[in-house]
Structure 1
Amino acid sequence: MLEYARQILPDSNVILIPVMSWDTAARMLTTLLKSAGRQLTKPQKEAVLGAYKLCSQPLFMKLAFETSRLWTSFLNIDKCTLGLSIKSAIELLLQRMEKAHGIVLVSRSLALMTISREGLSDSEMEDVLSLDDEVLQNVYIYHLPPNPLFIRLPQLLWQRLRYDLVQYMVQRRVHNSDVNTWQHRQFRDAVLKRYVTSGKQNLHRALAEYFSGTW
């Protein structure tokens, strides 16, 4: 990407951003923990900053913080898993989302948002998920929907998932609607690999049928 930028832009327009220093990363971690009202034990904090040395990028520190803030003070340091790259840290985050919100909802919604051309608004996401039989069956496995003749995904389910990931997403104004999409390319790549590889055709068909007014 840097080489391509240098090919099309004059050197005066290219600004190299230096790697965030270890001291700055330590202050960033302290600030993030304070803002969240959390603390880490000394070994836990050393584990986070040690992992940062292996992947010295602000996004990794942010992901590491989101993982470490869930650790209890009595959690053995051997079980304090962070990942050693942005890719593995995102994988851990997606695993947590699956555990918290269910793998069907997480995989389907994030895949749809990722493969959509410009992103999906909240209402579009809820509409498309409400047309997915597997998603609805998973949601209503233990109870019947309020209106069996008009079954929709409960609005709160997507809102909760989006809330947990909102710091890694961005909203853009497209065709008079606020659509959600990823802020970082690494999230797009991770979702494509984890959720889209095997069912890409069906996902594209679902979006095409929705936007063409099939349903």
Structure 2
Amino acid sequence: MCSQVLKHQLLRVKRKVTSGQQIYVNNAFSKCTLPMFVNLTFREVRHRRSHKDVDESSLSVTVHESIEQLFWSLEKKCGQKLVSRALGYITMAKMGLSEMELEDVLA
């Protein structure tokens, strides 16, 4: 079922994984079937190119690893200082922050 959900999500953005990549995705789904993990896996594989290999070391197999991978990619894209401060402010906010409040704090 996880593979079907992933396939449907990829089709919506006109992407797909190769049969070789699908083996590693299925292996990851055999270890964790949480919906959050399926969504995080989608975010990982949707930007991969068909010529880029997916293997055990390049694909996360737990929710925790997937979230860490997401944070690392955010740091590469936006910078370590911005990401660490934004996550720190979100963590410190007792009831969470709205998007406007987060923008105000980061300004």
The answer, yes or no, to whether TM exceeds 0.5 is yes
Query: Which of 108, 113, 117 is residue 85 of structure 2 equivalent to?
Result: 108
Q: Percent identity?
A: 34
Query: Which of 30, 34, 49 is residue 26 of structure 2 equivalent to?
Result: 49
Q: For residue 55 of structure 1, what is the amino acid of its counterpart?
A: C
Structure 1: distance between partners of 2:28 and 2:55? 13
What is the Cα deviation at residue 80 of structure 1? Answer: 6.4
Structure 1: distance between partners of 2:62 and 2:56? 17
What is the Cα deviation at residue 79 of structure 1? Answer: 7.5
User: Is 2:41 aligned against 1:64?
Assistant: yes
What is the Cα deviation at residue 110 of structure 1? Answer: 1.7
Structure 1 or 2: more helix by fraction: 2
Give the TM-score of the pair, scaled to structure 2. Answer: 0.89
* Contact 2:86–2:106, Cα closer than 8 Å, also in 1: yes
Q: For residue 90 of structure 2, what is the amino acid of its counterpart?
A: M
Structure 1 or 2: more strand by fraction: 1
Structure with bigger RCO (C-alpha 8 Å, 6+ apart): 2
In the other structure, the counterpart of 1:94 is: 71
Q: For residue 89 of structure 2, what is the amino acid of its counterpart?
A: L
Structure 2: distance between partners of 1:68 and 1:51? 12
* Contact 2:10–2:42, Cα closer than 8 Å, also in 1: yes
Question: Which consecutive unaligned segments of at least 5 residues does structure 2 have?
Answer: none
Structure 2: distance between partners of 1:114 and 1:43? 39
CA RMSD, aligned part only? 1.6
Question: Which consecutive unaligned segments of at least 5 residues does structure 1 have?
Answer: 1-23, 131-215
Give the TM-score of the pair, scaled to structure 1. Answer: 0.47
What is the Cα deviation at residue 125 of structure 1? Answer: 1.6
SS in 2 for 1:96: helix
1:83-126 CA deviation, whole Å, 9 max, x = no partner?
12110111001111111111111111122112201111223222
User: Is 2:55 aligned against 1:84?
Assistant: no
Structure 2: distance between partners of 1:54 and 1:42? 19
Which entry has the higher C-alpha Rg, 1 or 2? 1
